[in-house]
Amino acid sequence: MSRIDLHLHTTYSDGSRSPADVLALAKAAGVSALAITDHDTVDGLPDALEAGARLGIEVIPGTEISSRHGESELHILGYFLDCHDPELRHRLGQLRASRHRRNPRIIEKLNELGLALTYEEVKALAGTDSVGRPHIARVLMERGYVTSAKEAFDRYLAEGAAAYVPRELPEPAEAMAWIRAARGIPVLAHPSWVKANGAGLLKLCEKLKAEGLAGIEVHYSTHKPQQTAEYLNLARRLDLLVTGGSDFHGLTKPDIEVGVGRGNLKVSEKLLEPLKKAAALH
Ligand SMILES: [Zn+2]
Ligand SMILES: [Zn+2]
């Protein structure tokens, strides 16, 4: 029985490996099918599909959309998407643009509070396209405005603090509707990230299912055995599909490897057939 990996990031979002590199790593790990699920983009899929065809690995077109969940985020994976769907591409483009609008607004607020720093400095320190609040915190530390990242967040950057700017995120229902409209299958990513379990998680998943959710990422690199068991029960109880993946990012998460996660991840290829059937029903 060969393994699959339905959650992988590349240089098209915050991963450090190109799609072709990820496919080569998958080949070496004995992965027979995989999904590239870059954050808020489908732009890496043509490269991945090309490499997959060359190496004999099935590539499922995917994405991972960040949506709003109260104070935090809920990530929705989409599988078997039509990556040329113009509406999906437009929506994802807007999400990416909102990331780039947020940072300069935070800097503006800090400047108004009398803290001298520029977005150019923050970008230079980050050194990647994926710039966020941790980088702003580091510049604040370097300038001596705060003594720790925690202080930077507590005083300025955290929700409710002086320079906080909320991210513009879609509701989960919207994200799932975009995926469905592009003939994709929406799946709740890493349920362990959701600050709920037991009855709370059941209620959330019931609501998400009513809004279009089709599956749960039961198998995940950092899930403990009892979590995997809980999510498997949940999926069975709500008649949701079961998926799994490593959430490989390369250097950003150095302990996670393609296909095997931290070494004990095993996502069976048997999970693929029900997912394909659901996709074909669209
Ligand atoms: Zn995620
Ligand atoms: Zn991810």
Instruction: Tell me the average pLDDT across 183-209.
Output: 94
Ligand with smallest separation from the Cα of 69 = 1
| Residue 61 and residue 84 in contact, taking contact as beta carbons nearer than 8 Å | no
Chain-centroid distance, C-alpha 74: 9
CA of 7 to the centre of ligand 1 (A): 9
Q: Would you state the pLDDT for residue 1?
A: 63
CA of 122 to the centre of ligand 2 (A): 24
Ligand with smallest separation from the Cα of 253 = 2
CA of 39 to the centre of ligand 2 (A): 7
CA of 144 to the centre of ligand 2 (A): 34
Query: Which residues are 59's β-sheet partners?
Result: 34
Ligand with smallest separation from the Cα of 193 = 1
CA of 240 to the centre of ligand 1 (A): 19
Instruction: Tell me the average pLDDT across 142-167.
Output: 93
Instruction: Tell me the average pLDDT across 174-192.
Output: 97
CA of 142 to the centre of ligand 2 (A): 30
Instruction: Tell me the average pLDDT across 238-255.
Output: 93
Ligand with smallest separation from the Cα of 9 = 2
CA of 40 to the centre of ligand 1 (A): 11
As a whole-number percent, the residues of the chain with pLDDT over 90 amount to 80
Ligand with smallest separation from the Cα of 249 = 2
* Confidence class for position 256, pLDDT limits 50, 70, 90: very high
Ligand with smallest separation from the Cα of 6 = 2
Q: Would you state the pLDDT for residue 159?
A: 85
Instruction: Tell me the average pLDDT across 107-132.
Output: 88
Domain with CATH 3.20.20.140 in the chain: 3-92+169-280
Write the CB contacts of 171 (distance below 8 Å, at least 6 apart in sequence).
Answer: 67, 68
Q: Would you state the pLDDT for residue 113?
A: 97
Ligand with smallest separation from the Cα of 13 = 2
Q: Which amino acid is at 250?
A: G
Asked whether residue 128 carries a pLDDT value surpassing 70, the answer given is no
CA of 25 to the centre of ligand 2 (A): 17
What phi and psi, each to the nearest 5 degrees, are found at residue 94?
-65, -40
As a whole-number percent, the residues of the chain with pLDDT over 70 amount to 99
Ligand with smallest separation from the Cα of 246 = 2
CA of 13 to the centre of ligand 1 (A): 12
Asked whether residue 280 carries a pLDDT value surpassing 80, the answer given is yes
Instruction: Tell me the average pLDDT across 247-259.
Output: 91
CA of 246 to the centre of ligand 2 (A): 8
Q: Would you state the pLDDT for residue 104?
A: 93
Q: Would you state the pLDDT for residue 74?
A: 95
First vs last Cα of the chain: how many Å apart?
A: 28
**pTM, 2 dp:** 0.86
The CATH fold assigned to 3-92+169-280 is: TIM Barrel (3.20.20)
pLDDT in tens, 35-71: 999 999 999 999 999 999 999 999 999 999 999 988 7
Spatial distance between the Cα atoms of 23 and 29, rounded to a whole number of angstroms:
10
CA angle 35, 187, 168 (to 5 degrees): 100
| Residue 258 and residue 6 in contact, taking contact as beta carbons nearer than 8 Å | no
Protein residues placing their CB within 5 Å of the ion ligand 2: 64, 247
